[in-house]
């Protein structure tokens, strides 16, 4: 097989997998109905935790589904069936809802746990590709996630079946999130180290420049002194304020260039008050950093002057310290 044939084989194999798996997900689309609604309502109304268990590849998918629910503030944990059978069942409370995942519905390690859950009074939900299985027969609700074919050409390795399980788990999590009215702020609360968490939780005060690093000039400062202050501050601007630090305006690099071209020899005689832009865009310390960043994006500006309720300057938020949307 030459290189070109190898490339063709690889590309076609990838396309075949993607086509089959997308077709199998769409097959589930047509099956979403009353049982799905019952399951989402059961999870939404659960007084305890959502306990998810599965063996092998189903277990790996179960871990991800559990993590997604947890991201939305819906308490959930993954219970390994083998460990559960040797002591970890003690983590399961009477009010917990159990989600068992098995494509065949006959996974021995899963079926062994059912008597305990029944005796414990737990509601059992199953996700299986075999709605006539032992697992389905012993579940309060059964979500049929059967497929026509695996993406594996040998029909051996779980491929489309695990993709479908993951997709349906995501569908349940998102539907439950909407039922419970989960907002961005709650999601961010559980992701404080991520980009979204920082955007939603951080305030302008957490990133603004303050103190001695704050470039301030008086309205009587000369053009030369103003230029030096811009250079020293390394922000491309200075804030013009009175003795009480009340905001009067700002002078940017652009203001300097425009004034020097317009005034020519007279430029050196100008004061900061004559160079400044009055009524610059401002923000407050407690404004969300994400909102401040959006304001800068929309107005195509690179700094925001931070003021208090008395219009006094307390800081500057430069664009470079705001959070990148793709971070």
The CB-side HSE value for 242 (13 A sphere, CA atoms) comes to 6
The per-residue pLDDT for range 27-44, each reduced to its tens digit, is 999 899 999 999 999 999
The per-residue pLDDT for range 208-222, each reduced to its tens digit, is 999 888 899 999 999
pLDDT, residue 273, reads 94
Residues of the chain with CATH 3.10.580.10: 204-321
pLDDT, residue 325, reads 45
Planar angle of CA 274, 279, 284, nearest 5 degrees = 135
79 SS3 class: coil
Comparing CA positions, the residue from 247, 246, 267 lying closest to residue 256 is: 267
Helices marked H in 145-288? 160-180, 184-189, 195-201, 223-233, 253-263, 272-275
Is 3.40.50.300 the CATH classification of the domain at 3-182?
no
Fold of domain 204-321: CBS-domain (3.10.580)
pLDDT band at 323 (very low <50, low <70, confident <90, very high): very low
Residues of the chain with CATH 3.40.50.10490: 3-182
Out of 148-152, 161-165, 179-183, which region has the weakest mean confidence (pLDDT)? 179-183
pTM: predicted TM-score of the whole model, two decimal places:
0.65
Q: Transcribe 232-257 into DSSP letters.
A: HHTSSEEEEE-TT-BEEEEEEHHHHH
DSSP designation for 152: S
pLDDT, residue 327, reads 41
Q: Rounded CA gap, 188 and 202, in Å?
A: 10
């Amino acid at each position: 097989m030459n290189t070109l044939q190898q490339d063709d084989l690889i590309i076609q194999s990838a396309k075949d997998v993607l086509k089959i798996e997308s077709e199998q997900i769409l097959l589930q689309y047509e099956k979403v109905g009353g049982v799905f609604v019952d399951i989402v309502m059961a999870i939404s109304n659960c007084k305890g935790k959502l306990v998810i268990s599965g063996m092998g590849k189903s277990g790996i998918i179960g871990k991800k589904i559990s993590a997604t629910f947890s991201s939305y503030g819906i308490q959930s944990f993954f219970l390994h069936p083998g460990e559960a059978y040797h002591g970890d069942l003690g983590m399961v409370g009477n009010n917990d809802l159990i989600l068992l995942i098995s494509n065949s519905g006959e996974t021995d390690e899963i079926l062994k746990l059912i008597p305990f859950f029944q005796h414990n009074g737990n509601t059992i939900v199953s996700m299986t590709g075999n709605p006539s299985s032992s697992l389905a027969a012993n579940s309060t609700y059964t979500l049929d996630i059967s497929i026509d074919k695996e993406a594996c050409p040998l029909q051996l390795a779980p491929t489309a079946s695990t993709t479908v399980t993951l997709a349906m788990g995501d569908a349940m999590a998102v539907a439950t999130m909407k039922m419970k009215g989960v907002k961005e702020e709650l999601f961010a609360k559980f992701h404080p180290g991520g980009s979204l968490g920082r955007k939603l939780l951080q305030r302008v005060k957490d990133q603004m420049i303050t103190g001695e690093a704050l470039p301030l000039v008086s309205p009587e400062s000369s053009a030369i002194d103003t230029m030096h202050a811009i250079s020293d501050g390394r922000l491309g601007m200075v804030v013009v304020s009175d003795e009480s630090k009340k905001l009067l305006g700002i002078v940017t690099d652009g203001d300097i260039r425009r004034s020097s071209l317009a005034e020519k020899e007279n430029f050196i005689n100008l004061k900061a008050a004559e160079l400044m832009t009055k009524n610059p865009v401002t923000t407050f310390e407690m404004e969300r950093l994400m909102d401040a960043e959006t304001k800068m994006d929309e107005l195509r500006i690179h700094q925001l002057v931070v003021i208090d309720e008395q219009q006094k300057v307390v800081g500057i938020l430069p664009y470079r310290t705001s959070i990148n949307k793709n971070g």
